């Protein structure tokens, strides 16, 4: 897993304006194209000023860290919805600390996640009137976020992946390294330099693939940061967290991007 169950997302950088008045994230039950019911957590921004965001969790699915993260995005001016992956095999969430996620992760397929993203986007747009949208994913969800850049039907304006897995042995043809040629940008990838599960050669191969497409992209590696560094308890990586927040929010600003 990426985070401890009681982990919290880092606070927004102190100079980023907060929008007051938003309610907490609301648990929803959505339906995917194949009829699967799945859970999602939606946080509306009182004064949305940027792109809407679909938050794609790590292997544990929808649990408190990601609902709280959706609220962070809403306070920064972005409607946000975090989804659960496991409606097909585990029923509705959200997931608790005892959820045995690995059997369900193994049954999850990228095309199913893409369909769930589409359903979440439709719900977000219907609820908020949001137009432009991006995905922001973590670990397993970071991979899914990158793959969303190959899905023209989603009409995304960009994708962000925090330590998204790249390993061709794990992902086969669906590795972002192999799929880079099919991606439309912009793409933002954020990695920890001390992440033993995602070695530099994989990141470099992914970056070469993106460069060959000619799309807008940025890959950032934080020296000394581990996998799942984006966690409030990692005070020693506070600078990396703040920089990652800034880059992500700049990316989500339609006037900035990458």
The answer to whether 151 and 184 are in contact (CB under 8 A) is no
* Burial of 14 per CB tally in 10 Å (0-12, 13-18, 19+): exposed
3-state SS, residue 68: helix
pLDDT for 53: 97
Quickly state the pLDDT bin for 257 (edges 50, 70, 90). very low
- 247's tokens: 């880059």
Instruction: Report the distance separating Cα 62 and Cα 93, nearest Å.
Output: 7
Instruction: Report the distance separating Cα 74 and Cα 89, nearest Å.
Output: 30
- All domains of the chain in start order, with CATH: 26-252 (3.40.50.1820)
Quickly state the pLDDT bin for 55 (edges 50, 70, 90). very high
Quickly state the pLDDT bin for 23 (edges 50, 70, 90). low
- 243's tokens: 């920089």
pLDDT for 18: 79
Quickly state the pLDDT bin for 258 (edges 50, 70, 90). very low
Average pLDDT over the chain, rounded to whole? 92
3-state SS, residue 37: strand
Quickly state the pLDDT bin for 4 (edges 50, 70, 90). confident
DSSP class of 49 = -
| pLDDT above 50 for 256 | no
| pLDDT above 70 for 22 | no
pLDDT for 254: 61
pLDDT for 229: 93
Instruction: Report the distance separating Cα 12 and Cα 242, nearest Å.
Output: 7
| pLDDT above 80 for 21 | no
| pLDDT above 60 for 253 | yes
pLDDT tens-digit series, residues 196-229:
999 999 999 999 999 999 999 999 999 999 999 9
Mean pLDDT of 40-52: 88
Share of residues in the chain with pLDDT > 70 (%): 96
Quickly state the pLDDT bin for 28 (edges 50, 70, 90). very high
Mean pLDDT of 1-30: 81
Mean pLDDT of 120-142: 94
């Amino acid at each position: 897993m990426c985070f401890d169950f009681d982990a919290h997302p880092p606070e927004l950088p102190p100079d980023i304006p907060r929008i007051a008045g938003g309610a907490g994230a609301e648990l929803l039950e959505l339906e995917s194209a194949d009829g699967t019911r799945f859970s999602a957590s939606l946080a509306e921004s009182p004064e949305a000023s940027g792109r809407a965001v679909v938050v794609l969790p790590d292997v544990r699915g929808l649990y408190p860290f990601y609902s709280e993260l959706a609220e962070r995005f809403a306070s920064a001016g972005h409607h946000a919805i975090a989804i659960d992956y496991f409606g097909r095999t585990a029923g509705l969430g959200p997931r608790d600390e005892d959820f045995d996620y690995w059997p369900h992760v193994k049954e999850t397929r990228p095309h199913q996640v893409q369909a769930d993203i589409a359903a979440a986007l439709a719900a977000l747009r219907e609820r908020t009137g949001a137009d432009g949208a991006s995905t922001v994913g973590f670990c397993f969800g970071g991979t899914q976020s990158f793959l969303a850049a190959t899905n023209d039907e989603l009409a995304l304006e960009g994708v962000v992946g925090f330590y998204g897995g790249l390993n061709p042995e794990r992902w086969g043809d669906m590795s972002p390294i192999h799929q880079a040629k099919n991606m439309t940008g912009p793409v933002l990838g954020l990695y920890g330099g001390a992440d033993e599960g995602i070695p530099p050669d994989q990141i470099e191969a992914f970056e070469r693939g993106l460069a060959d497409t000619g799309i807008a992209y940025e890959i950032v590696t934080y020296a000394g940061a581990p996998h799942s560094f984006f966690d409030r308890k990692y005070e020693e990586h506070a600078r990396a967290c703040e920089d990652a927040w800034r880059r992500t929010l700049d990316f989500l600003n339609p006037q900035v991007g990458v």
